[in-house]
Amino acid sequence: MSFYVFIAVCVLGVDFLLYVMFQWMYGDKRREIERKLAACREGGKVRPFVRGRVTEERLQRVRERMKERAARLA
Give, in order, the Cα–Cα distances in Å from 56 to each of 2, 16, 27, 63, 64.
66, 45, 31, 10, 12
Q: Report pTM.
A: 0.40
Using DSSP, state whether 50 is helix, strand or coil.
coil
pLDDT of 28 > 70? The answer is: no
Q: Give the number of C-alpha atoms closer than 13 A to the C-alpha of residue 9, restricted to the C-beta side.
A: 6
pLDDT class of 59 with cuts at 50, 70, 90: confident
Give the start-to-end residue ranges of the domains of the chain. Answer: 2-73
Highest mean pLDDT among 25-29, 49-53, 55-59: 55-59
